Structures are given as C-alpha cells and as structure tokens.
C-alpha cells in the first residue's frame, strides 16, 4: 500500500503537466483556426527553383515509386532538380537511379557517396545545389502531386519562413503495427500544426521538409547528430532563430515498420537521438530568447521521456497488482463467474480518475482534429484500438532502452531499414 501511494504521488505531476500541455496545444490551435483555414486557399505567384535530394541505401524495392511520385509533382519541370545519392548500396539502387537519370535528363541526376551515413549523402546533394529551395525525400516515401506547390505557398506568403514541414501519413498500413502507426501519425498531424502556431516545431522530418538554401549558408550543413540529423538541424535552426512552419495539406506518405522489432528499433533510434541532441543543445532550455521552443516545448519533451517511462512502470505495477489480487481471491474463495453490471454509484471518482478521463477526452479531440486537418482520410475507427492497446506496450521498451543507452554511453550503431515492411504497392 505504501509503495502504491508513493507511485501515485509521483504520477500526479505527470498527469497535470500532460493535461496542461494538451490544453496549451488545443488553445493554440483554436486561437489560430481562421488563419489555418486561410492557408488552404493560397496560390503561388512565383515558382522558385527546387532541389530534392533522395539519399539511398539498399532501396531497390521503393526507389522507383519514390522517383515516380517526384516526377509526377504538379510543378514546372524546368524549376525542379532531383539528385539521387546512393550511399554504398549492395543491391540495384544505383542502377535504378541511372535508368531514371537517362530517361529524365536535366531533371534527375544520380551520384555515389562513399562516406557512410545519410547526412553525408544529403550533404553531397547540398554541395551541388544552386536552387532557391532545397529538400530531402527518403527513398521509402512518396509525395502527392500538389505537395510541393502547397509547401512553396508558405515561402511565397512570408519571406521570414525558412523551412516548411509536411503532413506525414503511413502508406497502405496493413499489419497491426502499421495500423497502430497510422493513428500515431494522425496525432502528429495535429501536433506539428499546433507546434507551428507556437513557433516551436520540434523536428523537420526527412520525408520532404523543404528549406530555403540560405538556411545552410547561415548554419552549415547536416551533421551525423547521433543518427537523427533531422532533429539536430531543427535545434540548430531554433538556436539561430529561424522560422519553421507546417503545411497540413502537403501530403507525404512513408512506409512504416511492419514488425514490432522494426518499430522498436526505429523508435529507439529516434528516442535516443532526441535525448542526446537535446543534451548537446541544453543551452536552449528555459531561455526566453528561443521563445516557446526554448521555454516550454523542448524542456517538456525532454522531461516527458522520463515521465513517460515512469508512467509505463506505474501502469505495469498497477495491472500486476490487480491481477495478483484477483488471483489471490480466486485461490481463497474459488472462481465464481458472473455477468458484469454497471452502476454509476460504484463509479471511480478519485482525482486521478477524473484527470485521466479529461486527458482521454482531449486525446480523442486531438485525433479528430488531425483527421479533419489532413486531406487523407484513413480508417481511423478500425486502427484506433490497435493504437490504444498496442502502443503502450512498446513505450517502456524503447524509452527504457534509450535512457539506459544514453546515460551509459553505449555505442550507437544502426541499421535503418525494416526490410519486411518494404513494398511498392
């Protein structure tokens, strides 16, 4: 009983902070709802030139579809360059790139980068770039025809905008793990938009974030950054006080890991990369000059890694304790099955129960808004149970390992593909 009270005592600050965090994001969204709606009707007056880098490592299964999606962009082809950069692939990736370069002269070019690492591949493309805008598209991701034009409208509308992030979705989710991610990405649609309104976007994801080329002239090129170069360059942009916004109608699809193992390794890389990069940029924490990002969202995100791990431990302890009590009762008085009944008189009205109900209500609202923001309408109602029941099981695994590896300084080596999930259909 004492242990349970202690655990609950530490849970209250986490619950209140989480509720405050959700309220802040929802308030930010609703305060800017008209502005967000107005963004959807923008037209592009001038088409800037754009380079898109496609870094590849053993991507023969998806590279063709990725390049097809780029070539199908509704954008002037004389303003578009696509640099395919093979990073020591052992399959037919480079050969496929050569075919596309041959069939699309002046648009597609293919290169080899012998130095291992996605950041090196992207930097090679960046060193060749002479266009106004520069972006990257992972070779397992796919853009819709209007995506680039939609993103460009944000640069056209505001000269202070230095980077625009897209609206990401899982492509053709099939397995339980992919369906779980589809709901998670739907939540991300709302979060990126709300963070954007606070000028506090936390990451410019590899799938089709677009930058003004001058960003790299001001802050330098990509770095290895604990294998999460997308997060590190976002931190660097915030440190230089460069504006990042989100385009909720710029649809980009990516292939999520199909297996639990692939999902855990992907999230472990992300979580560890976040922790290590955040520690590298700890001078941003609680600094007013860095706005909402430095004062609130970055410190809160860092704190929530540990609180999220604690909450999962608390949930496991509570579930185990309840199961133990049930087993003990059955062993004492036997099993007496009966049809469960519901009576409001016995409804749990503790403070923690009330807070959890409020948070769950807000979470459902977040999913609803995310679904309304995006033009992609996936089968949310079928996928949500998989997110609700499966996702909490993965959290203690990848967060616990990420915290342990970060603070024990374990070697950080990664294989960045879950080959079982690769598909071109």
- Please give the distance of CA 4 from its chain centroid, rounded to a whole number: 34
The helix (run of H) or strand (run of E) holding residue 161 is strand 161-170
Q: Domain for residue 337, yes or no?
A: no
Least confident span in 71-85, 200-214, 340-354, 359-373? 340-354
Q: Does any domain span residue 75?
A: no
Q: Where are the alpha helices (DSSP H) in 137-213?
A: 147-157, 176-197
The pLDDT of residue 383 is above 80: yes
Percent of the chain topping pLDDT 90: 65
Residue 279's nearest CA partner among 232, 234, 237, 324 is 232
**Number of domains composing the chain:** 1
User: Under 8 Å CB-to-CB from 187, ≥6 apart: which residues?
Assistant: 363, 366, 367, 370
Instruction: Kindly list the distances between the CA atom of residue 267 and the CA atoms of 252, 257, 358, in Å, as whole numbers in the listed order.
Output: 20, 10, 27
Residue 273 has pLDDT above 50, yes or no: yes
* 367: nearest Cα among 383, 352, 353: 383
Instruction: Give residues with Cβ within 8 angstroms of 106, minimum separation 6.
Output: none
396 part of a folded domain: yes
Helical packing angle, 118-128 and 229-239, nearest 10°:
60
Instruction: Please give the average per-residue pLDDT across 158-173, as a whole number.
Output: 95
Q: Is residue 254 in a domain?
A: yes
Residue 57 in domain: no
Query: pLDDT: is 418 or 67 the higher one?
Result: 67
Distance CA 176, CA 256 (A): 11
DSSP calls for 182-199: HHHHHHHHHHHHHHHHTT
Mean pLDDT of the chain: 88
Per-residue b or e along 239-249, where b marks 16 or more CB atoms closer than 10 Å to that residue's CB? beebbbbbbbb
* Residue 424 clears pLDDT 70, i.e. is over it: no
In the prediction, which pLDDT does 422 show?
46
pLDDT band, residue 381 (cuts 50/70/90): confident
Measured CA to CA, the distance from residue 406 to residue 108 in angstroms comes to: 40
Could you tell me if residue 161 is inside a domain?
A: yes
65-98 confidence digits (pLDDT tens)? 999 999 999 999 999 999 999 998 999 999 999 9
320-344, pLDDT tens digit by residue?
Answer: 877 888 788 777 877 766 665 555 5
pLDDT tens across 225-243, in order? Answer: 999 999 999 999 999 999 9
pLDDT of 420 over the 50 cut:
no
What's the CA gap between 117 and 138, in Å, rounded?
Answer: 13
Provide the domain limits for residue 177: 1-36+140-329+347-425
Tell whether 104 is covered by a domain: no
| Model confidence pLDDT, tens digit, residues 98-127 | 999 999 999 999 999 989 889 999 999 999
Residue 423, pLDDT above cutoff 90: no
Q: What is the pLDDT of residue 4?
A: 63
* Nearest 10 degrees: Cα torsion 315, 316, 318, 319: 110
* pLDDT reported for residue 7: 64
Is residue 52, in this structure, part of any structural domain at all? no
């Amino acid at each position: 009983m004492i242990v349970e009270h202690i655990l609950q005592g530490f849970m209250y600050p986490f619950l209140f902070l989480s509720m405050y965090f959700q309220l802040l994001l929802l308030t930010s969204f609703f305060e800017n709802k008209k502005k967000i709606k107005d963004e959807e009707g923008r037209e592009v007056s001038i088409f800037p030139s754009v380079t898109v880098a496609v870094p590849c490592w053993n991507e023969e299964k998806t590279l063709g579809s990725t390049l097809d999606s780029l070539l199908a962009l509704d954008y002037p082809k004389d303003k578009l360059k696509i640099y395919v950069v093979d990073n020591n692939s052992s399959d037919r990736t480079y050969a496929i790139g050569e075919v596309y370069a041959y069939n699309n002269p002046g648009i597609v070019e293919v290169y080899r980068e012998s130095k291992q690492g996605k950041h090196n591949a992207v930097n090679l493309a960046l060193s060749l770039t002479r266009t106004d805008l520069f972006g990257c598209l992972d070779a397992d991701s796919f853009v819709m025809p209007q995506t680039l034009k939609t993103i460009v409208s944000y640069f056209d509308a505001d000269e202070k905008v230095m980077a625009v992030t897209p609206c990401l979705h899982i492509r053709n989710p099939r397995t339980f793990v992919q369906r779980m991610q589809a709901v998670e990405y739907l939540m991300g649609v709302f979060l990126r938009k709300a963070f954007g309104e606070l000028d506090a976007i936390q990451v410019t994801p590899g799938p089709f974030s677009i930058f003004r080329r001058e960003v790299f002239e001001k802050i330098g090129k990509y770095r290895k950054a604990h294998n999460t170069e997308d997060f590190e360059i976002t931190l660097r942009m915030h440190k230089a006080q460069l504006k990042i916004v989100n385009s909720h109608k710029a649809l980009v699809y990516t292939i999520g890991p199909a297996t639990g193992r692939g999902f855990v390794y992907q999230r472990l890389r992300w979580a560890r990369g976040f922790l290590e990069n955040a520690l590298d940029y700890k001078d941003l924490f609680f600094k007013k000059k860095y706005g909402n990002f430095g004062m609130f969202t970055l410190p809160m995100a860092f704190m929530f890694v540990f609180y999220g791990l604690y909450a999962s431990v608390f949930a496991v302890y509570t579930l185990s304790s309840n199961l133990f009590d049930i087993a003990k009762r059955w062993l004492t008085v036997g099993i007496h099955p009966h049809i469960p009944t519901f009576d409001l008189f016995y409804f749990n009205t503790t403070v923690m129960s009330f807070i959890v109900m409020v948070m769950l209500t807000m979470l459902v609202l977040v999913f609803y808004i995310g679904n309304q923001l995006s033009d992609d309408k996936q089968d949310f109602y079928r996928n949500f149970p998989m997110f609700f029941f499966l996702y909490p099981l993965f959290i203690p695994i990848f967060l616990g390992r990420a915290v342990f590896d970060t603070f024990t300084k374990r070697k950080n080596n990664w294989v960045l593909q879950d080959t079982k999930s690769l598909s071109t259909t």
